Chains A and B, each alone.
Chain A
Amino acid sequence: MLEYVFAGIALGSIYAIAASGIVVTYVSSGVLNFAFGSMAYFLARFYYYLNSEHGWSSIPALVVSVFVAGPALGAFLYLLLFRHLRLSSPLIRIVSTIGVSVALPPAALMLFGNETITTAPGLAHQPIRTYKIFGASANLDQIIAVGCVLAVVVLGTLLLQFTDVGLKVRAMVDTEAMTSLSGVSPAKISICVWMVTTALAGLAGVLAAPSSGLTPGGMTALMASGFAAVVAARLRSLPAAVGVAMGMGILTDVSQKYLPVNSSLTNAILLSIPVFVMGAFLLAYVAVSGQINEASSTGGALDNAIRPMGGSDAATASSNAAVVANRSGWSPYMLGPVVVIGIIALLPLLLSGYWLTLLAGGFAFAVLFLSYTMVVGEGGMIWLCQASFAGIGALATAQLATNHGVNPLLAVLIGGLIATPVGVIIGLLTIRLGNLYVALVTLTFGLLAETLIFTRDVFYQDGLGVLVARPSYLLDDRSFAYFALAVFVVLALVVVNLRRSTTGLALAAVRYSEAGARTVGLSILGMKLLVAAISTFIAAIGGGLLALNYQSAMPMSYATFAGLVWLAVFVTIGLRSVTAAVLAGISFTLLPGVFQTYLSATWGNVPTILFGLGAVMVALHPDGQVAMNARQLQGFVVKVAGRRGRHHGARPPGSPPAAKEILTSPDVTGLVETSR
């Protein structure tokens, strides 16, 4: 038993280091670092590169990879990205860090090699020595992990409590705005914090690699464990996060003693423990205080006064106070998407073979991306489990069509209907949570579905998934491409229709101000559940189409990390445009095809890096590239029209009269009969 406790303390120590890094960056900069797992992977991969591939001994390799490259990476990312996020909305902060998390693993592959790593060594020399403590054995890797967390806690406490820098950091944690007004540069403090916490990510990655595996997925699981501890600590309390992390580690290893050995279910349950811990704490907090919102728990009064509210929209809207086209009825601006989709519809006639297969897959992805348009773009809800819904749709399609003889297209539809209640339940569970908690809960739900459901033999089939045949009339890729595009067009029309109708206005109202929306008679619950239901249905339909495209439902194609890459692709092109969804879909399949066909294998990772960087750019262009270009075009048209208008003596559209001019104009006599 004691051996399990020792192993648990060691695992908990790794979780605690991860949780410390995440909490410190959150409280000091307001950014919950969704790239923590990828940073850990990047630096641990660098350590492996030096230690295992180039024969460096562990200490110099650790110093260079974690304590030199770590801070350098942190400083680089801060200067490139994180400094722009200080006053960004929660959506932009999350999406930007997801961009980093998507870009770093392929960058590591390009820099350090594409080799598949089955086992990674820790810091202890091989073979690992074991010691007897109170009669139970503990290996050197475990002892080093505990030593590391003790060092982090002691050094961190000394630094924070007894140094000038620590005082400044603590002041900035309480209120960044007031610290700034006191003459302390938040930028200098922030860059130091990011350097230290990136080094912590590297340390956690190196320590976790032997047990979690040196893969982006393994490090995402490490990050999720850190997140669970951080949620338990309500994002702020470092001692609580460390305590819960240690407890989680011990619980995981002690549970191992009582679960059957060599069972895939045992492994799935052990991996799911952090998710259960997070769920339990969230339920407890909601039960006690009614709701949890991260905004109310950070910063002082002045910080709250200057903090942007809502989704990305407030920032976007304020920076783009242009004239908005009337959203009712037909408008000339609707011609743009019609023309783009019309041109795209010609592509299946122009392409053949490999490229046509990729295009058909791209159209299936376009349907999937529409679910992001709905949930993130329209609903302003940061859901990170759309891949799981797509997976549910794909697995249901394959099961129904192959094992139960249901028509494949009907199976896709039923798959959508099966997934929809799951999305509604997630919507209900997260209704009382702030944006950040919603992102965390949906991320961990995705990991739960991935480890507990997708790995079942009935779906997994040794990684090949269940085969699913297309109907005879959709066997060739051209027919299937047109079918997928037709499904996309129908669903896109539903989304556009909703956006332009009262429901769309209501969704936007809820996105911008829940209090304002409630006082005009809108039900927040109803609106959010509507978004949840529609987006989940669309994601599952997209997943079913993907299964038909590949003619197999491979569960690991719907891994949570893959979903983060999809989100990065989607936000790179555009958050709220259906045109962007179809462009994102075909870019996602065709661009890697171009790189793989015309460039060497090393360059195959570049598209993913580009998509990650695209998501990072959301910090600068919150609506994505398509929306930005469309708005520039629209601005140009308005400008030209305005110039013409001025020639005729009219006020150019978009140049409002001064407040005073309006308020001091003749008496407000027109209120006749209008307010009853």
Chain B
Amino acid sequence: MTAKPAETPSPGARLECENVTVRFGGVIALDSVSLSVPPSTIVGLVGPNGAGKSTLFSVLSGLRRPNSGRVRFEGADITRMSAQARARRGLARTFQHPEMFTGLTAREHIMLSHRMSTRRSRIWTDILTARGFRPADHDEVERVDQLLEALNLTEISNQPVAGLPLGMTRLVELARALASSPKVLLLDEPSSGLDAQETEQVMRVFERAVELSGVSLLLVEHDVAMVLRLCSYVHVLDFGVEIGAGTPEEIRNNDAVRAAYLGDETAAGVASIEPQGAGS
């Protein structure tokens, strides 16, 4: 794991949002929320159902425009930028319910994502160079194979993802996101539907991704133990409002968070988590 940042996010944040507000009719889904994700760190975003976490993810990834507020990526204002333009800049995401290209194979998911990040203007070159009748580049094959192997997907690499169980589908989605060489990766409830062992495995993938590639992760997760173990900094939302932010230790001791979100019983459970998880 990389060195932990200071108690507050560093000023050279890769991704940040400032006073983001989203309204659905009369309902305020996000009320002036701000957060930042520094380089090579894992930042957590927690909150009960309906807190606005997925809405914030949609705003950050460009699938939804905020009513007010700003989103910045490496210092540049991307608030009005489309999702695909953000993806090309290095912002990748996964979904709470995986958004897969169900008829494509795991290999094709990774290949497409890799090509999107490495080549441009391929429609005319595809037509004029008969690209479809030539084998894939050696470098590309090697890179895709590496990623498949890294996530233990080699065996199912040529199978449409529609038939895969949820755990493997999440891994393919993660592989697709990593294949674009992202600078920031937004992970929406990645442990949802996984058992304890699978969750442990996914956590190790995240840690190694940050350690080896320097990617920054923003993690939305219901599994509070996972968030407190992995993340350097945690934001807590409730009813669209940030009710707390700080290091895992600060979150554990934050009365507002304990009262409004964790509850006494859960808070006791969280307190029992030893710090050995956080840095392993």
Contact = CB atoms under 8 A, between A and B. Distances in A.
A508 B112 CA distance: 10
A516 B146 contact: no
A164 interface: no
Interface stretch (B164-172, B228-236, B240-248, B258-266): B164-172
Contacts of B85: 521
Interface string A311-329: 0011011101111111111
A329 B134 contact: yes
B156 interface: yes
Interface centre among A516, A530, A671, A673 (most CB of B within 10 A): A671
Interface stretch (B7-15, B16-24, B27-35, B117-125): B117-125
Contacts of A493: 130
A654 B180 CA distance: 27
Nearest to A510: B101
Interface in A651-676: 651, 653-654, 656-660, 662-665, 667-676
Interface string A498-525: 1111111110110111011111111110
A659 B165 contact: yes
Contact of B160 (A317, A500, A513, A520): A317
A314 B103 contact: yes
A668 B206 CA distance: 10
Interface string B193-227: 01101100110110011001111000000000000
B112 A314 contact: no
B104 A663 contact: no
Contacts of B102: 310, 313-314, 317-318, 512-513
Contact of A324 (B111, B126, B158, B179): B158
B171 A663 contact: yes
Given A518-B84, A667-B204, A505 B63 contact: no
B150 A668 contact: yes
B208 A671 contact: yes
A668 B208 contact: yes
Contact of B63 (A519, A654, A672): A519
Q: Is the interface of B mostly helix, strand, loop or mixed?
A: helix
Contacts of A524: 84
Interface centre among A313, A494, A516, A522 (most CB of B within 10 A): A516
Interface string B54-70: 00000001110000000
Contacts of B151: 668, 671
Interface of B: 61-63, 82-85, 87-88, 92-93, 95, 99-105, 107-108, 111-113, 115-117, 119, 122-123, 126-127, 130-136, 143, 146-147, 149-153, 155-156, 158-160, 162-168, 171, 176, 178-182, 194-195, 197-198, 201-202, 204-205, 208-209, 212-215
Interface of A: 310, 313-314, 316-318, 320-330, 493-494, 496-506, 508-509, 511-513, 515-524, 530, 651, 653-654, 656-660, 662-665, 667-676
Closest A-B pairs by Cβ, 9 of them: A321-B163, A500-B132, A516-B99, A329-B135, A521-B87, A670-B150, A317-B162, A501-B126, A501-B132
7 contacts: A324-B158, A518-B63, A521-B88, A659-B168, A674-B150, A675-B147, A675-B212
